[in-house]
Structure formats: C-alpha cells, structure tokens
Amino acid sequence: MEGASRRRAPVNGFVLDASATAGWLFDDEKTMAGDALLASLRESSAMVPAIWPLEIANLLVSGERRGRISPERVERQLATLSTLPIHVDPETCDRAWDEILALARAHRLTVYDAAYLELALRLGLPLATRDGDLAVAARAAGVEVMAV
C-alpha cells in the first residue's frame, strides 16, 4: 500500500480491521457509525497490522469478481484509502509466532484476527471491528471495541 505510513499512531488513534474498512468500500455495508469512524480520521489516525493491505485488496478483488464493485471504483477506493492516516505496523510479522499465535489460541481466533487484537493490546488503543468473534475476544482481553 503505497500511501500507508509505518509510523506509530498518536494517542488518539485506534486499530482498524478489515471488516470495519469494508463499510467504507461497499455501499451495501455502509453504516452511520462507520461513516463517523471514517470522519474521525480527520482528527486521529489508525494503526493496522501488516496483513491489512492484503485483506483489503482481497475484499476488493472478491467484490469485483462478484460484480459488487467495478475495477474503476476499486482503483478509486484504493486511492482514497492511501490518502488516509492509516499506518501499517512494522512489528506484526515479528510477533506472528509468539504473541499473535498465543492470542489466537487463547481466544479461538484466526491468526489474522489475533494480529488486530495483539496490536490493540500492545498500543493500548481501541479496536474498530465488525467481526463478532474478534469483538468478544477484544472485550475479554480488556480492549475497548468501537462501534462500526
């Protein structure tokens, strides 16, 4: 992802997962809470694990294959995302086989979802997700879950 930075988010940031981002990409997944989260990026920033750009690209190409989104709109959505203050965590891969794997086991999550939880725990940031299992695990781990 060309526009994503590898800097740490400021204290007023949050961890953004792919499910929360999907509401910004597809009209049929938009919510008022998701729109408010997007608007909040004018004042804050988001952190994402290294898997996030791949998950977003996969969401978009899958949507394109199903006729939910045109190739032109995919390009526009990616261009828009690249302008947002979304920062890719440089430590995700270093933590995959230890902290992230342990969280996946402890909370019965996929390793992908556990990467978001690990990042939120490590940075002490709330988590923006629409994934029910991840939200339950985050709350159990003491992480604030943002409405999306």
Q: What is the CATH number of the domain that holds 69?
A: 3.40.50.1010
Q: Does 66 reside within a domain? A: yes
What letter would DSSP give residue 84?
Answer: S
Q: Does 6 reside within a domain? A: no
Number of H helices and number of E strands within the chain? 8, 5
pLDDT reported for residue 3 = 46
Number of domains the chain is built from: 1
Out of 3-17, 70-84, 122-136, pick the least confident.
3-17
Q: Does 104 reside within a domain? A: yes
Sequence-distant (6+) residues with CB within 8 A of 45 are 9, 10, 12, 13, 85, 86, 87
**Contact in structure between 84 and 2 (CB atoms under 8 Å):** no
Distance (Å, whole) CA 16 – CA 119: 10
Under the banding of pLDDT at 50, 70 and 90, the label for residue 45 is very high
Whether 10 has a pLDDT exceeding 50, the answer reads no
Rg (C-alpha) for the chain, rounded Å, is 15
Sheet-wide strand order for 145-146: 86-88, 46-48, 14-16, 127-128, 145-146
Domain that holds residue 20: 14-146
Q: Does 2 reside within a domain? A: no
Under the banding of pLDDT at 50, 70 and 90, the label for residue 12 is confident
Instruction: Compute the average pLDDT of residues 7-21.
Output: 78
Under the banding of pLDDT at 50, 70 and 90, the label for residue 7 is very low
pLDDT reported for residue 147 = 86
